[in-house]
Every structure is written in C-alpha cells, then in structure tokens.
Chain A
Amino acid sequence: MCLRLRLLTLEGSVSSPFTRFSGSLTSFPFSVKPRIPIMADAGSVEALLQLVEKADGGVDSLDVASSIGVDHQVIVGAVKSLQSLGDVISAEQRSSKHWELTEEGTELAEQGSHEARVFSSVPPEGLPQSELMKLSFGKIGFSKAMSNKWIRVDKSHEGGPRIFRSVESIQDQVREKLLLVQRGAPLEEKDKNELKKRKLLAEVTVKSYWITRGSSFSTTLTKQETELTAEMIATGSWKDRKFKPYNFEAMGVAPDCGHLHPLMKVRTQFRQIFLEMGFSEMPTNNFIESSFWNFDSLFQPQQHPARDQHDTFFLSDPALAHDFPQDYLERVKRVHSEGGYGSQGYKYDWKIEEAQKNILRTHTTAVSARMLYKLAQQEKFTPVKYFSIDRVFRNETLDATHLAEFHQIEGVVADYGLTLGDLMGVLHQFFTKLGITKLRFKPAYNPYTEPSMEVFSYHEGLKKWVEVGNSGVFRPEMLLPMGLPEDVSVIAWGLSLERPTMIKYGINNIRELVGHKVNLQMVYDGPICRLDS
C-alpha cells in the first residue's frame, strides 16, 4: 500500500498496472518512506545486482530486462527499491527511440501478411470471390494480392466471379520485414515508412535507467528497518541495523484534541490583564436589566435616542421590573427632573413607567452602576477597581462587523481624588499590556461621563489613528445620588472584545467568529492568544 511510484516509464505504451495507482498512492500523507522496501521480487533484484557487478561502466535497464527475461517494469521497480536503500546503485535516467510492431504487425509477423494468406487460401482450381471475402483478411489481402499480381479474377465464370492463382509461388516480403524488426535488425527507411503507413510499425520512446555501482555497492542486501522497536532496544540489535531515512518534508499526524474558541481565548487574556492590574471581576451574569439600572441610574435621560425601540431590545415578558431601592430611585428621579448635587438636571417629567421597562442590557455599565450603588451602601467607602467582560445587546442593523450581541470589556476605578490624568495613565498601562503604546485622546460626548474621551491608537499597518475604546469620568449626577462621597471620582473605560479578536485572528466577517456559522476549521487551526506580540 505504500508504493510511491510516480514514473511512467513507457510513454505511449499500454498503461502499466502501477501508473494507474501512482496518483492516489503518492497522496498518502505518511512521513516515512515505504515500509516494504523491496517491491520487486527478490530474484530480479539479485540478478540485477549481479549484472551490474559484472558490467564495467554500467548497464541499461532495458538490456537487463531482456537478458533476465522479465518485463522492463520489474527492473524499474528493482531500481527504485535499491535507490531507497541508499547509495547501493546509482541510476541515471535516459531515453531512446526504437521501432516496434503494432498489434496488427505482430499478428502478421506470426501468420504472414494478409495478401500471402489470401494467396495460400486460393486452391489451384480457384475460389469464388464471395467465399474469399468472407475470410477476415479477405478484403485487405485481396486488393494487395491483386496489385502484386499474385491472383486474377475471372468475372465471367459461371456461378459468379472466381479467383485463380496467377503465379506458382510467392515471397512474403512484408512478413520477412516485420520479422526483421521484431529481431531488432535494421530496416530501410522506405520499408519502415510503408509499414508505418499500414499501421504495422510504430516508433516508441523508451525511458530506461543507466545503472552503475554506487558508493556502498554490494550484491548482498541487508534489509533496512523502518522503526525502532522495543525488541531492538531490549536486545541491543538496533546497533547493527540500518534504518530507513524519514521524509521530513511531510506533515505530521494532527493530534486528537479539543480546542478553545478564539474569542474566548482573547477573553481569557483580557481577564488576565485586568487581574494583573488588581481589578476584581463584576458579577455580570444578568442579561436582563431594568431601564432604571441600564439608563436612569447613569443619568441618561428618558428621551435619549439609545432608549429608542430601534436601538434597544425591550421585553414583553417579563415586561417590567418590580423592585427598586426606593430612596435611591427618588434621588435619581429628582436629579433628572429637577437637578441637585450642583446640577441643573435635565428638567423633564421623569416617569417611573419608563424606568421599569425591562430590556436586554445595552452595556455592562448597568452592572457597574449596581456595584457602585452597593459600594455606596457600605458603612465606609473603600477604593475599588472593577472589570467585566460580558455580553451586551443592541437592536441594531447587522453587517459584517456588527451583530445584535457582542462582548463589552469594561474597567472601573473608584477612589478619592482620581484625575483625568489618572484615567489616561491607567489606560496607558492597560493598552501597553495589549502591545499598544501610542495613545491619543479625543473629546467625545457620553451622557454619563464628563469628561468623555475616545481613545485612539496609532495603527502601524493602516498608518493612521484608529479608535480603540471609550473612556470617561462618571458624572456627579450619577454618583452622588447613589450616596458615594463627594470627593470620590470614578473613572471608567470600555471597548469591544470582538474587534481586537477579529484583528488578532485576521477575520473579516464577524459571523465566522461568533455564532453557529463559525468556521470550525478556523477554531481547530487557531494559535494561542498573545495580545502583546
């Protein structure tokens, strides 16, 4: 099964049994050379070696075949297997042209030319033409014999046309010439052409090997081992054995294992970065959120476009949230509708009905709000650093880079006296861990942060600044109603997990990464995730 014969030795000849398989056989991805080295029978290999030993300067594989009396293919096989054993012989490919009888030519060489056979079929008393024509060679032989004037036709004979010999004896020159060719004797050009025209002869190209002794020539072969075995180690016999060389060009066998999803591998790295920086993970396992925590608590007004049906998934069941910290809710209502905490407020009619509406959270900041509120309920404020990486949902138009759900990465730091410079410093550290060192900040607008900054990094490939995240300082209108001390500042930033993953793994269509249309081959082939390299 491991034959690796690729050579078609006889061009234009009838196909050999090997050529038919060679294509498929070579496609086996085995890294070792054929395990059965001697495919040709041992006899012909031995005979070949003996001939090579005797001959000075080498022998032709065709001569070997004819002198041993086997098909040339067998010798080619023997050459191949000897080559695989190392430098026993050296074989150089050559090609020669010679004339050979066709199938019809061979038949004629055996049985005589058609015209000769016609002549011998005609008895002295003659033969009706119709009888002659029934013979297989009749038609061709008749016209040839006629032109050679070996026979004549008596058309007026009673009982139809009848054929008679017109000479006593003939010489079958065609057959003689064919026999000459068969014996390998030379033939005149004119004769060759005539026989070729009659499709009795054909010129064929023969590929053969010129075989000479190799540097480690020997007529006695030691069998090469394919693999080291436990027995060889036990007996020490490996010391005396020769081992077949490996084919290091081929690929190895893929290990049988499972794989982690690329997006999750990137998530693991981001978690790692946050943990390295001392950030604690927030409990974001609540996809369903009330508008209150998702928007109102963040000082996002109730008419804000993000709260539109076109941007947010609302729930029909359970449609409303039923439990809120009542005191806090009152403070939130007041800061929206009237202001306070040093703010003018938005001065509109804040409605609990709007806050109650359940939605699929549009950002994990809803959980940050819950956590900050809980922090404010602590007896004593303690500084915190929080992070989360989890799913968020937007009822948006979908395209190659946007889905209705994606993972948001979020970092939050709350402490006394944090500055905008601190936010930029933390972002610098965070992005440095991602391998991004050139950062720039651009003013932006966000209802719950002031100042708000878009974070840009210089992309070496695109030769321009690209947005990598959003950041800001939470507004006092968000923090103070929660009950956090006035001089506590909370800085935060966010980015999506999918975008860096798509860049990292060179994926253009997000559907190939997330969701059931994932390309599993891509998952199988994915490298480990090192964000900073």
Chain B
Amino acid sequence: MRKKGAQGMAAALLAVTLLAGCSSNNTGNNANGAAEGNAPATPAANASAEPANAGTDTGSTESWKQDTSPFKFTQYFYGNWASAYLWKDQYAMKLATEKTGVTIDRKLATGNDDDYLNTMIASGDLPDTIMLDWNNPAVSKLINNGMVYSMDELMDKYAPELKSMLDPDMVKYHSVNGKLWYLPNLFETADRLTSGVPITPIRPWFFREDIYKAIGSPELKTTDDLMNALKLAKEKFPEISPVGVENFDVAKNSFGGSLSMNFLISSFSPNLLEERIKDDQQIVEYPMRNKGFIDSFRYMNQLYRNGLFDSQLLIYKQEQYEEKLYGAQYAAASQYMSNMYTQYNPKIESTLGADHKYTIIGGLQANGQDPRYAASRLMGWQGFFITKNAKNPERIIRFAEYAWSDEGQLDARYGTEGETYDMVDGLPKFKQEIMDLKLKDNNAYNAQYGFDDSTLLMRAGKLWDDASARDFQEQQPEQFAGAKLLEKYNFDSYSLGMDNLEPDGSSPEGVINGKVKDLWNKTIPKLILSETDADFDNAYNDFISQMDKVGAEKAEKVMYQRHLEDMQKKGVQ
C-alpha cells in the first residue's frame, strides 16, 4: 500500500505540474487605463474609511501601479468546497485583472485537503501562494521549514505601503518569531461585537413552520420543551425525521463533533470556556471532561432513545444531509444561519411552498440556566502565504497591497461605482437587481459577480462593515430578527484567551492531541447510540481512561501554555 501511495502521490504531483504549466493569456492591455479611470473613486472612499489606514496616500506611491502587465500566479486554497472561488470570468475577478494585470490561478484539493497539502509540503512542490487557515497545524511546518517568505521581508523590499496599512494589533497577534509570515484575512477589530452584522457564533436550530403550527406552537424555552415538541411532531408526522444535524467529524469540526452540537453545548455548559481553565493545575482541560459538555451528548442520546434521532445522520456525508434539508424532511434542523435564509428557505419556498420553510428556535435553557454563546471577534480566517517557489514574489506582494487597500477591498466587495453599486449616504450599496440576485439565487450571484470571492484578502473596514450591517437589516429582516434573537446570549470570549489552543501537530503533544481526537471521534457514535444510561456511562468512562492512557494531560498542559500566550498576544494578561 505504501508503494501505491507513493505512486498516487507522484501522479498527483504530475497533475499539479501539468496544470501549472498551462496558463492562458489574459488581457491586460487596458489595465493601465482602467486603473487611472478608477483612481478618483479611491480618495473619496478613503476619507470615510477607518483611521488605521490614514497612511494610504492618493495614487502615485502605490507599488502595484508600477507594473500592470499581464501576470499570473498559482494559488492553493485550503477548502475543497470552494469551487465558487475559482477564477473564471466573474465580474470581481475581471475587475482585479483589468486594474492590476494579475490573474490568480486558484486550485482546490481533489480529495482530502490535509492529504493534498501535506503531499505538497513533503515533496516541496508548492504553488506560488497558499490560502490556508492560519491555525492549521501545517502552518508551523511551512514557517519552520523555511518554505514561505516572511511578509516583512517582501514588504520592506517591494511594497512598503502595504506595511503601513496593516493593523498593528493584527501584526502583533499573528507574528511568529518576530515576523509576519502571512496576511490573515477577516481579522476583526475590537469594535466588532458592537458594529457590523450581528454575530451568530453558533449554528442555530430551526423548526419547520407548518409542523410547529400543527403541534400547537408550543413554547420552546428549554431543552425539555424541544424534546417534547419533537415527540409531538413525530406523532403527527410519522414519516418525517424529527431531528437533523450536520455531519460528525471531530478532526474537521473540533470537539463538538458536529457543528450543530455547539447550540446544545452552549445550553448545557454555558460556562464551558471558563471552566476548562484550571489555573491551579496549570492545565486547560479537554471539554470532554466537562459535565455540561457531556450532558449535551446525553441529550442527543435521549433523542435517539426516544426515536427522535435517525442514526443515519452519524454516517451521512454533508451532501446527503443537505439534500434532505432541501426537501424539508426534518421537523427540526440545524444549519449555518445565512445558508438557511439565503439557500434553503428560498429553495424550499419555491419547490414545496412557503409553509414548509424553517423558522428559528431561540436560545434554549438547560437546568434553569440561560445559554451563553462565546462570541469573539475573528482573529482571522485564512492566511495568505507566499512560498519560496513563487516565481515573482515582487508582483505578488504588490498585488496583495492592491487587495489590502481600500480600493482593492471595494473592488472585491462591491465592484465599480455607478455600474454595480452606488454610494448612498456615504456607504456603498449594490444596485437592487444585484442585491436581489444575491439573496434569491446565491449560486448564480457568485457565478456572475464573484464579489467577496476574488482576492479573498478581506479585512475590517468601517465603510463596508457599516454598509453590510445596513444591508443585512434592510434586505434580510427575517434573518436580522433571528440574529437579534440569539445575540442577547452572546458574550465576548476574546479576553479569555481560548483561541488557537491545540498543540502544534508535529510536536509530541500534537500527536497526543491527534490521538485524543481520534478516540473521541469513535466515542461519539457510541454515546449517542447507547441503549441505556449504563451503556452511556461505560462508553464515556472507557473513553476517559483511554484518553488518559495516551497522555491527554501533557496536551492539556501545553494548551494551558498556549492559553497564556494567547492572552499575552492579545494584551489581556
């Protein structure tokens, strides 16, 4: 098998090389003209933008304008789901190319992302740039193996303007060994919790409207209320699956197993994050040691034993779940907030009728306590890495400067003033037909315009954050109301210092952490499908003793150190 693996690896690499080889010529002829033509819009936008960017001058010093001849670089995007991000001829992509001459040849993994990434790292055959979650274990490999340029080095040499645009807090938080090795996107500023679109840090649960009405619209205030409502739903609609949750995979979705679990975990263990920190023992506990956390799995087990949870969900792939959700085949289902309102509900309304749509369930109390949702400003999503394999790092860092600038942000988010958006009260606003397309047929909107999908170097900025908050409230009142309903349970978890705790994958503790996750992944189905309380307890106790045996405590000690570091980096010691 090892041999077969090596062959597969070779074949994959060959494919990558071949793909990298074929590059089509792009039109960059009018790039200069377009850039000049658009320049006047920029200072205006700048004036109302955030003060951190005061250093951005008008025009001439921008390094990316020095060379706008056609140029193409390759990029691997970590996330094989992201076909919408591939550069075809979407509006936002064409706009970036017209202005800068740059085209991104973006590629996705054909199978498992970690497999694909590690194969590239092991063989040293990296693309020019990589977009990778900044807290992925492979990040330290890229940096420690000297496979990527430091941003400082490139910025000092080629794009000094970019350096002055960066948020100092971000630079402080993301620097490793005193240098910035990647540009993190979606790093949010301190005012995030009070401005912009309301944060919904969990995947909410929804009830199908007609079923909810048919069982008499009972009050859903506690987890027990939900259980009873589901029982009623099953009686009245025996052909419907009572509960739908997203797929279970600890490696991907962290300790909750399924992203849908966080809703329950926040109810059963509202103080989970604080409780995990044990200063006296100098450890940050694994959540699996927390009673409330386990109670949420006990609740799932209750659902199963009451015939309300279909065990198929444990083996479903994401697509299978989505298919059933499009068919509104669950009485209650969990889904990412915005997807429910912009994809599922519109589709359900047009195919099955408006009464089959899903309506949000508010926060649920358990054991008499209100839930608490750990909301924090995002410390970033993905890092933009420039690898040592890059043939022209100079052009790439200058392109990053464009993307990071207010002009680049507006281009990527809103397009061209007068054509795709207008300025209304000092804030950009999409033309109505584009807004309608975005809300009613998101896939078509992405395929045609590709806004937010082009450079992917999104950063915080008052201008567009305010604009999106206004649009959200105006255009999606239903989702806005839903978000407000849950927002009251949010608390700011930023200062707890609980971000990016898991030990570095290549360290001995990282190996232990991997084993713990693997064990937990195997335990979840056993817990949920237990036939008796005793079975449940046995499976759980087995897991705890196995976890201790592989050395969980060592990883918990490292997590405590990383917790201290996180606080220090955030300046909340």
Q: Do chains A and B interact in one complex?
A: no
